[in-house]
Structure 1
Amino acid sequence: MRLREHVVVVTGASSGIGRATAEAFARKGCAVVLAARREEALEATARECERHRGARTLVVPTDTTDAKAVDDLARRAVEEFGRIDVWVNNAAVNAFGRFEDVPLEDFRRVLDVNVMGYVHGARAALRVMREEGRGTLINISSIVGAVAQPYSHPYSMSKHAVQGLGSSLRQQLRVEGVKGIRVCTVMPATIDTPHFEQAANHTGRKVVAMPPVYSPERVARTVVDLVRHPHREVVVGPAGKALVRRSRKNPALAERAMARQTEKTHLSHEESAPATHGALHVPAPGEGAVHGGWGGRRRTALRRVAVYGLVGAGVAAAGRRIGRELSAA
């Protein structure tokens, strides 16, 4: 089947990676089913998608923590377009803070959206794909699914769970002899989206995007390519690739590198911030946006500087090795 004939469901399509992914599929002429909590933002995404010749859209406001709502999303997609070829689990939230300082209601909400939301999506998608005998399920994870971070404990936990979900589903399909359904996991590095401004924050410091920062379009291109050429796991961003490689060779070093970089560059040392639940429990107002204003489109020496910053005092030699790996990436 040609890509332009695919029917694609994208959760979290109101902003960031999800919105960029929906537009990327629309650009290829696919039918795109847009899901998120914010109907106004989904309608704005639909307008952008429909600018591309041949693209068709369906807006379905959905809270992915509601299993029935996700089942209804799948049903609406099939009713409108006849099938589901690709399902992208992307809707996710974050909460920053010391482990003891993040309210339990925020902790639970992150796990509910980022883990159970993906479970609901996978169950709904696989039910349809099994009937068709084919399909691609793509779970958007993160490099923190390989190397956890301080200050974002529930998010790190949730992305490790997404890695496990993808692996266990691939194994289940294999032992059942199902060959037409693919399960892929995408692990972006830091991406220029509104994610950081919309996160809950209990650190007392302003959350900023940890460099190097890459564009959401880069992730979207990866997702589209996976439909053509499926892979188990794909890391987006050279810095992320280097860190994940290092975590497999020397997990302790990777942890120290991530801890130092997070403390140094992920939370502002100059700007304070009041405690907020962000968009965890109530969606952010407005039409949404793909970018967060963090400069993900720029290709500058800042990326190389930040990569070397991953290692710092005490691990400088390993830093040079990571730098060489990045140059080859």
Structure 2
Amino acid sequence: MSKVAVITGAGAGVGRAVAEKFAREGYSVALLSRNEARLQHTASEFREQYSVKTLAIAVDVANAQQVADAASQTERELGPVDVWVNVAMATVFSPVSGLEPAEVERATQVTYLGQVYGMMAALRHMRIRNRGSIINVGSALSHRSVPLQAAYCGAKSAIRGFTDSLRSELIHDGLSIQLTMVDLPAVNTPQFDWARNKMHRKARPVAPVFQPEVAARAVWFAATHKRREVWVGFSTVKAILANRIAPGLADRYLARAGYNGQITNQRLSPDAPDNLFESPDGHWEADGRFNNEAKSSSWQMFTERHRNTLWAVTALGVAGLLWRRRK
């Protein structure tokens, strides 16, 4: 019997890339997202390409009961859930002065509560078996917020706080359930074409940009190795460490560069898609419109995957230097 993975936000972007990675590895996959037509298309595609069982479940992750029901349906139709990956997110490109309370609430419900409800639903089943992996897809922006995405950055930061609390509880209860946070850099996904944008110009990811398959490989690595956190891309490492060392300097830098780094000079069409409250129609892929600049690999992830070997080589090298000095 194949292992089972549940992925939220699986209709497009990073979620779709993650779902495809698990399908390629032979997992049965449950695809959770709001747009049923897109999910059914994706599920059919994975069945044909990878000969795996798939289950498309239309879910709004901001609804706790829908998420819980999806977990139960997956267990009934595919089997025990081995891996649960929380990916679904929503954002608004706008200064705080331009935000409406309903927009902040919705972005928080999807991005933060969606992951909370996913963790809770997965745990109800995993605790019984005392096994499983829960992967929360975070962001460099959960450590270092940027202007124009306050609702998203706040929600991602909240995920990190909830995850750390839960991890301590799992240790206290002696449970063998792995909980990992995967913090991503800027990724080339459709979110920059369909996220609510009040800036009147098209949005873009802050360079450097990575392909969603890089994120998918990082999530796969997190699900198959015991790691507390996985930082993807050197840009993520720099953002996290810079904010720890000199947060005030980072504030001033982003005040200067944070706007133009996220907004292009291209005018935004008045009829551009907006996925904050409703899922846009059509078939959207994992990647967005930035293929010409997106990186398909990350050397930093190579070092993360092979960190034990690198530490061993480093230790041997240091030992060798000390031995030569003694001579």
Identity value in percent: 33
TM-score (norm 1): 0.85
CA contact (8 A) 1:88 1:138 kept: yes
| AA matched with 1:25 | F
Cα distance in 1 between the residues matched to 2:13 and 2:260:
24
CA deviation after TM superposition for structure 1 residue 268, in Å: 2.1
Give the corresponding residue for 1:41.
Answer: 38
Whether 2:267 is the aligned partner of 1:271: answer yes
CA contact (8 A) 2:211 2:295 kept: no
CA deviation after TM superposition for structure 1 residue 249, in Å: 2.1
Change (3 A) 1:98 1:259: same
CA deviation after TM superposition for structure 1 residue 172, in Å: 1.0
Give the corresponding residue for 1:203.
Answer: 199
Change (3 A) 1:147 1:26: same
* Larger Cα-atom Rg: 2
Cα distance in 2 between the residues matched to 1:274 and 1:232:
43
Cα distance in 2 between the residues matched to 1:248 and 1:193:
28
Change (3 A) 1:274 1:148: farther
TM-score (norm 2): 0.86
Give the corresponding residue for 1:109.
Answer: 106
Cα distance in 2 between the residues matched to 1:277 and 1:227:
33
CA contact (8 A) 1:185 1:234 kept: yes
CA contact (8 A) 1:141 1:185 kept: yes
Give the corresponding residue for 2:138.
Answer: 141
Long gaps (5+) in structure 1: 301-329
Whether 2:156 is the aligned partner of 1:181: answer no
Whether 2:207 is the aligned partner of 1:217: answer no
Matches within 5 A, 1:117-196: 117-178=114-175, 180-196=176-192
CA RMSD of aligned residues (A): 1.9
Per-residue CA distance 1:295-318 (angstroms, 9 max, x = gap) = 276449xxxxxxxxxxxxxxxxxx
Long gaps (5+) in structure 2: 297-327
| AA matched with 1:132 | R
CA contact (8 A) 2:53 2:78 kept: no
Cα distance in 1 between the residues matched to 2:271 and 2:196:
8
- Give the total of aligned pairs: 296
CA contact (8 A) 2:193 2:272 kept: no
Matches within 5 A, 1:10-25: 10-25=7-22
Cα distance in 2 between the residues matched to 1:206 and 1:95:
12
CA deviation after TM superposition for structure 1 residue 54, in Å: 4.0
CA deviation after TM superposition for structure 1 residue 132, in Å: 1.1
User: Which of structure 1's runs of 4+ aligned residues deviate more than 6 A?
Assistant: none
Cα distance in 2 between the residues matched to 1:296 and 1:233:
29
Give the corresponding residue for 1:71.
Answer: 68
Aligned residue for 2:188, secondary structure, equals coil
